[in-house]
Amino acid sequence: MPDMRRHPVIEFTGPVLLGPDDEALGLWSVDGRLTFRMPTVEPDLTLDGWVVPGLVDAHCHIGLVEGGAADEATSLAQARADLAAGTLLVRDAGSPADTRWLTGRADAPRIIRAARHVAASRRYLRGLALEVEDRDLVETVREQARLSVAADPRGWVKLVGDWIDRDAGDLRPSFPAELVAEAIAAAHEEGARVTAHCFGEEVLDDVIAAGIDCIEHATGLQPEHLPRLAEANIPIVPTLINIATFPDIVAQAEPKFPVYAAHMHALWEGRYENVARAYAAGVQVFAGTDAGSVIAHGRIADEVAELHRAGLPSVVALDAACWSAREWLGAENLEEGAPADVVLYAQDPRRNLGTLAAPRRVVLNGDLPGEKRPSGME
């Protein structure tokens, strides 16, 4: 008679990395949950390797393609690519597609949504955002906050804080500072956190003063911003593998917008120093790929490697996509009773970040996505 259990019993025999400096031996998955107590039944599977919590991509766009929303087949392919790379938790930083149908699937990461980007009219990539006039900003943000929190109490709202102003020929804030403050307050009233796309320098004073919860890209950080971010505990998500595309933007923009092109080139040149200064000042840094229309999904290992290249110690770069990132987003780590969301590697990823590019096994909710279940459990 087939075994009717929903999940196999799994024994993990390798070192269990409980945190950046803490490890243990002896971990099992029973009924899709982690336990450090040896079960009374024999395991269906024994998996060896260095065990870490499922990785986090803190800036990812499942359901987004160039020009707008992806269809369901494409969205699922994006989700599966992230999952195969060891990303088991995604903060989706804005998507025109409603991806709630992916919730609970055995072949997709857990997703914390940010509803849709909110941008100024005619001041963002066509088809991706809700583009609004100043007068509609606060209520649009409030509505997006309600939608994101309805999907997940940990929901976010994503503002496009700055973009090129073609009349000025350079980056400019998208909205007046006082409206940004009102919009962030409205989102907080609805229980959502707020982040913002910020390339340039000028917008940062506005969003920091308004009490924003995170800053995306943050390429324009200046020394005077750093103590304010650290004191207010506002993290940054640098998305370095996306910032690597700035030279392409510069080449396209230079003939018509030379000031903007020079500005973007300078931001690109300073990207590593920018992240290193922020880390040294005590600003929390998290890993996000900005996967979507330009960046391929499944590249979390590349982003962690870039953070290390920028000056973060290897274990800190890993932590930016691991223990601290999960805690920041309200997800459990390797704890008694937590969902069995783990990734196994052949080597200690704290010492060798290169091993992140080749997960040995991925376990989501106590199952192995894409693998045949143990005999008798089909």
Write out pLDDT tens, residues 158-186: 999 999 999 999 999 999 999 999 999 99
What is the model's pLDDT at position 116? 92
Write out pLDDT tens, residues 84-93: 999 999 999 9
What is the model's pLDDT at position 264? 98
pLDDT, average across residues 225-232: 98
pLDDT tier at 5, thresholds 50, 70, 90: low
Q: In what order do the strands lie in the sheet with 156-160?
A: 129-132, 117-120, 156-160, 193-198, 214-217, 236-237
- From CA 77, how far away is CA 307, in angstroms rounded? 26
pLDDT, average across residues 140-167: 96
In this predicted structure, the answer to whether residue 20 has a pLDDT above a threshold of 70 is yes
pLDDT tier at 370, thresholds 50, 70, 90: confident
pLDDT, average across residues 247-272: 98
Cα 67 to the chain's mean position, in Å? 21
3-state SS track over 172-209: EECCCHHHHHHHHHHHHHCCCEEEEEECCCHHHHHHHH
What is the model's pLDDT at position 260? 98
In this predicted structure, the answer to whether residue 371 has a pLDDT above a threshold of 80 is no
Residue found by looking up tokens 């910032």 in the block: 243
List of long-range contacts for 69-78, beta carbons under 8 Å, 24+ apart: 69/95, 69/96, 69/97, 69/127, 70/97, 72/101, 75/99, 75/102, 76/102, 76/107, 76/108, 77/297, 78/291, 78/297
What is the model's pLDDT at position 1? 34
What is the model's pLDDT at position 115? 85
In this predicted structure, the answer to whether residue 2 has a pLDDT above a threshold of 80 is no
Structure-model confidence comparison of residues 26 and 371, the more confident one? 26
Write out pLDDT tens, residues 293-346: 899 999 999 999 999 999 999 999 999 999 999 999 999 999 999 999 999 999
For residue 304, what is the enclosing H or E element?
A: helix 300-309
Specify the amino acid at residue 144. Q
What is the model's pLDDT at position 378? 53
In this predicted structure, the answer to whether residue 3 has a pLDDT above a threshold of 50 is no
Contacts of 260 (CB under 8 A, 6+ apart): 164, 169, 170, 171, 253
118 bridge partner residues: 130, 159
Q: Which of 248, 211, 203 has the alpha carbon at shortest distance from 228?
A: 211
The CA-based angle 347-349-352, given to 5 degrees, is 80
What domains appear along the chain, each with residue ranges and CATH number? 10-52+333-363 (2.30.40.10), 55-329 (3.20.20.140)
φ and ψ at residue 13, rounded to 5 degrees:
-100, -10
The CA-based angle 208-197-275, given to 5 degrees, is 75
What is the model's pLDDT at position 6? 79
In this predicted structure, the answer to whether residue 273 has a pLDDT above a threshold of 60 is yes
Look over the chain and give the mean of its residue pLDDT values, rounded to a whole number. 95
What is the model's pLDDT at position 376? 55
